[in-house]
A = this chain, B = another copy of it.
Amino acid sequence: MELIKGGVCAAKGFKASGVHCGIRKNRTKKDLALILSEAPASAASVYTTNLVKGAPLLVTKNHLKNGTARAIICNSGNANTCNANGIDIAEQTCELLGDALKIDSDDVVVASTGVIGQPLDIAPIQNGIPALIEALSEDGSDAAAEGIMTTDTVKKEIAVSFEVGGKLCKIGGIAKGSGMIHPNMATMLVFITTDCAISPEMLQKALSSDIKDTFNMVSVDGDTSTNDMVTVLANGMAGNDMITEEGEDFAIFMKALNTVTVHLCRMIAGDGEGATKLLECTVKNARDIETAKVVAKSVICSSLTKAAMFGADANWGRVLCAIGYSGADVDVTKIAVSFHNGKNYVCVCENGAGIEFSEELAKKILLEKEIEIRIDLNDGDKNATAWGCDLTYDYVKINGDYRT
């Protein structure tokens, strides 16, 4: 497997674009993005578990009933959620795009992100679609990645190549993250494209399985968005034998997909609203996977732990505390905690109690941009990882006055 350039346009037959259409007042920020597959593609999607669901999700869910799609259109700046006419607007968006591209509007995936509860006007989208189509390009992944950003500070893109049955396949994705991200509820906006040939059923199976260990293990602020979803399009243009069942080819595809999703998870967590650092919590030697996951997520979600990491303060008691209230059945007296960066680590707690450690070394480690909080439960052999970020002044600033 090899890291390649091109994001959602890395795979054969995909073009993308992003433009400013006027949903946002700031003319320098793109607010409409498009991804188009030359050929009909298998399509799979997962959605937020929030009971309050954005209208675009309901429309997309309906369009993907037959497991195929051609295009993804996504606006930022308005979530089109909790609006009386939301479904109408989302349907109109698909029809306008379908007409312009001469494809069935049922083959359009639609998504929106931004503020909730403010009516979305169809006019800027309608007016923007010609320019959006005009801008479609094999170098358009960057522009599309920009178009879906809200408070993100960096574009989130990745692509890798892999081989299935002697054929070179590619898979790439773009993501939008930042605030309102919480595990096991749903995720954020992620669009993934591949030219690997795989049936809609196996694509959905791969995606649904993968997110349990990836996007569902990311938390920025404990809030689960109403609008988030992950969609994969697979257009089969790599020419491999269609993957229709489990086996070696499916395993290879799963691994490639996972490489893309883990990378995007880390980017999303590290670019959480106001974040100055990526936190990775690895839980080792749990009695079962569920325990490992629950503990990892509890730690990554703890406001007190997140604030301590911002301050590079090795206040490991807060980690123990978060394990204790996680609801997981753990033996506190067996727990060890250590902080790691790429090169160094410091062990701060053994057998559930503090041990002497170098505050200087701990500070050095915690001042890094990527920190691993490693928890050894010494109670089995199952592991899990969760990703999050620190809690900072800027998180409060960004969210204290989001609408203005």
Contact = CB atoms under 8 A, between A and B. Distances in A.
Contacts of A395: 303, 307, 396
Contacts of A349: 82, 117
A302 to B, nearest CB: 6
B223 A321 contact: yes
A144 B322 CA distance: 29
A226 interface: yes
Contacts of A82: 317, 320, 349, 352-354
A81 interface: yes
A321 B116 contact: yes
A382 B180 CA distance: 29
A119 B354 contact: yes
A79 interface: yes
B353 A317 contact: no
B222 A52 contact: no
Nearest to A186: B325
A156 B313 CA distance: 29
Interface residues of A, number: 64
A304 B180 contact: yes
A106 B316 CA distance: 32
Nearest to A327: B51
Contact of A332 (B52, B115, B118, B402): B52
Interface in A49-107: 49-53, 79, 81-84
Interface string A303-331: 11001101101011110111111000010
A329 to B, nearest CB: 8
A317 B79 contact: yes
Contacts of A185: 325
Contacts of A222: 222, 301-303
Given A308-B402, A313-B400, A402-B313, A116 B391 contact: no
B116 A325 contact: no
Given A221-B304, A401-B313, A116 B83 contact: no
Contacts of A352: 52, 82
Contact of A400 (B223, B307, B320): B307
Q: Indicate the member of A82, A352, A391 with the most B CB atoms within 10 Å.
A: A82
Contact of A83 (B303, B354, B392): B354
A311 B393 contact: no
Contacts of A81: 317
B399 A116 contact: no
A158 to B, nearest CB: 27
Interface in A279-302: 301-302
A221 B400 contact: no
B119 A399 contact: no
Given A180-B304, A311-B399, A117 B353 contact: yes
B223 A318 contact: yes
A330 B393 contact: no
23 contacts: A50-B321, A50-B324, A51-B324, A51-B330, A53-B324, A83-B353, A116-B315, A116-B317, A117-B316, A117-B317, A119-B354, A179-B304, A180-B321, A221-B304, A222-B222, A223-B302, A304-B399, A307-B398, A307-B400, A310-B396, A391-B396, A393-B397, A396-B396
Given A50-B324, A315-B403, 8 more contacts: A52-B320, A82-B320, A84-B351, A116-B315, A116-B317, A221-B304, A313-B401, A396-B396
Interface of A: 49-53, 79, 81-84, 115-119, 179-180, 182, 185, 221-226, 301-304, 307-308, 310-311, 313, 315-318, 320-325, 330, 332, 349, 351-354, 391-393, 395-404
8 A-B pairs with least C-beta separation = A116-B317, A311-B400, A52-B324, A307-B399, A224-B325, A117-B354, A117-B317, A50-B324
